[in-house]
Amino acid sequence: MRIAVDVLGGDHAPYEILKGVGEALLGGAFMPSELLLVGPEEVITAQLTEMGCTEIPPIRHTEVFIAGHEKPVVGLRSKPDASISLCVQAVRGGEADGLIAFGNTGATVAAATMGLGMLPGIRRPGIAVTILGLGGRFVLLDAGANPTPKPEHLFQYSLMGAAYARDLLGHENPRIGLLNIGGEASKGSDVLKSCHSALGNSSLNFVGNVEGNHLFSGEAEVFVADGFVGNMVLKVVEGFAEYLVTAASRSESGDGVKSTLRHLLGAADFSEVGGATLLGVNGVVLIGHGRSHANAVLPALEAVRKDIEVGVNRHIIESLAAHQSEAPSVK
Amino acid sequence: MRIAVDVLGGDHAPYEILKGVGEALLGGAFMPSELLLVGPEEVITAQLTEMGCTEIPPIRHTEVFIAGHEKPVVGLRSKPDASISLCVQAVRGGEADGLIAFGNTGATVAAATMGLGMLPGIRRPGIAVTILGLGGRFVLLDAGANPTPKPEHLFQYSLMGAAYARDLLGHENPRIGLLNIGGEASKGSDVLKSCHSALGNSSLNFVGNVEGNHLFSGEAEVFVADGFVGNMVLKVVEGFAEYLVTAASRSESGDGVKSTLRHLLGAADFSEVGGATLLGVNGVVLIGHGRSHANAVLPALEAVRKDIEVGVNRHIIESLAAHQSEAPSVK
């Protein structure tokens, strides 16, 4: 098992990414041979050596990367040696079993989609995040890959999310909810109504529309939304959590409350859960947070490993075969 | 100044609504003559008398109401004496200066839109909520009146929200942000792009697209979104806050943390802020939370009063006149 690590992606790359890699190696969580570091060879070797690593993982050298503000497809075309592209190539070529990237999310999605292709029968990739609620961890997707999905895409997100919740979170028969602004089947856009109808007629474990205030209350293990709404929900929760921690630390109640909040807010903390999984592409792709510091790296690596080991893609394909006839037809 | 109170709307009506009304009267916050109670006369009189009120506010008797699950327009047509309709009539007829309703939001929006009409030049109503963040209270709209707005509607929400933030929250020159999934002008739907362009070319204090994780960080005082996204964001914050309080009370840290959280979570607590204001209709309409208990009533009343006293509608009309030529054209 080997994971390609994009050392150049993210706001604090490469220093924080390498710091996290070094800690993962020194702590014994990963063997050097389990990693493939994609980035500037000298910098990687120097920093890891200075940290005390005696054996350096294999390196795919590049100094090129897609910055956060770059347009993904333009960047990928003009920079064939961009670190994310080399990571994808490593997965496609079998040198790595999965990749972790903390950089430009759009570039990661585009590079993975073009470079790895889709799982057979899957139309569009979706980003799955896991969040902690009263019923334990649940899956929210799509968190931003596909802002204007067709009903069939949402249907496929449902089954991909269910496979993911089963494999990664251990929910035996995950309940699927469609994020909407009302519980009735007649609520929301035509796209949502069409998907609601197809899911209701399917053999998937669909519990219907779920409103945002029930996201955390344990009514489903999989919440499906378009990429605009899913991304917005995820970021609002993240921002709200940050606000609460900041506000708590400013208040008189001091460190006790702050640490309790931090603990509770594992919910929205990427550095605890490792990152978001890009589902639907023919490979294992974890999307770390652009703002990741070193402490996010080990959880990210462990998340990719788990993704790889549980074989969620195989289960997605199986589920697709079982439910394809129930999906809304493509126009 | 008189406020029409829909005594029959909401999950805990009429008992909790009347309990709150009684407390507002007994505490001296409102004079009986400042209220017009719309609901069952005997029940109102009995409960308020039992609470110790010696003078009962004027009552508009009805026993009919639109339940939470009813389709708004169908309900309004089949029940001409529904409490929300009588509240609207009281405002239209000048017997009341504003209304507060805790019931079916869709019915309130529809009754107000049809019964009061729109402010001159305003195309569609929008629901404005205020939320607490690091920069103080800010305005989010539309929180659900108009799930699929045109660019012009969003533009008008911007200027209505700015007038509201100035009048109600005291922000001198409120910054307006467009909730989006990226900061670049090219992000999001065609509707958002068109609105972004118009706002950027306008003389409104537009700060551009703002992502969900910055909703609470004080980057703007007005956040504009379509009614689907705005409603989802509001409810997710509400649900997340409830989750945190529940999780905190289950944890070992106990009551101290719980009370600190409750304090912080005024952010998402309707019972503290009173309700959401329906902007754009030709009248003052406050939408309380369906789950309101008695403690939500006084803040709601005070919120309507403030809405009435500051004259936000006049300022919306003035702002519209100043910015109408900058708006995206209607197709």
What would the two tokens of residue B240 be? 């997340």
Report the pLDDT value the prediction gives residue B260, as an integer from 0 to 100. Answer: 60
A-B contacts at Cβ under 8 angstroms:
143
Q: Write the pLDDT tens digit of every residue in B6-53.
A: 999 888 889 988 998 999 899 998 899 999 999 999 999 999 999 999
- Between B181, B215, B244, which is nearest A264 by CB? B244
Q: What number is the average pLDDT over the span A205-217?
A: 94
Q: Is A242 on the interface with B (CB under 8 A)?
A: yes
* pLDDT attached to residue B272: 58
User: B256 falls in which pLDDT band (50, 70, 90)?
Assistant: low
Between residues B48 and A242, which one has the greater pLDDT? B48
Query: What is residue A246's predicted lDDT score, i.e. its pLDDT?
Result: 77
Q: Read off the DSSP letter of residue A119.
A: P
Confidence of residue B271 (pLDDT cuts 50, 70, 90): low
Rounded to a whole number of angstroms, the distance from the CA of A220 to the nearest CA of chain B is: 14
All domains of chain B in start order, with CATH: 1-116 (3.40.718.10), 120-274+309-331 (3.40.718.10)
**A233/B236 CB distance under 8 A:** yes
Do residues B165 and B207 lie in contact, with contact meaning Cβ atoms separated by under 8 Å? no
The residue-averaged pLDDT of B49-60 equals 96
Return the pLDDT at A247: 74
| Interchain CB contact of A72 with B (< 8 Å) | no
How far A83 CA lies from chain B's nearest CA (Å)?
23
Q: Looking at the predicted structure, is the pLDDT value of residue A268 above 60?
A: no
- The three-state secondary structure class of A176 is strand
Residue B331's pLDDT is 43
Q: Average pLDDT for residues A253-261, to the nearest whole number? A: 60
Q: Please name the residue ranges forming H helices in chain B.
A: 15-26, 41-51, 72-78, 83-92, 105-116, 151-169, 190-201, 227-250, 255-264, 270-273, 297-310, 312-323
Alpha-carbon distance A231 to nearest alpha carbon in chain B (angstroms): 7
When comparing pLDDT for B311 and A262, which is higher? B311
Q: To the nearest whole angstrom, how far is the Cα of A105 from the nearest Cα of chain B?
A: 11
* Least confident piece of the model among A38-42, A207-211, B119-123: B119-123
Question: Which among B231, B238, B251 is the nearest to A260, CB-wise?
Answer: B251
- Cβ–Cβ contact A252 with B under 8 A: no
Write out pLDDT tens, residues A7-28. 998 888 899 889 989 998 999 9
B232 closest CB neighbour out of A233, A239, A267: A233
Q: What residue type is assigned to position A111 of the chain?
A: A
3-state SS, residue A1: coil
* Residue A58 pLDDT: 97
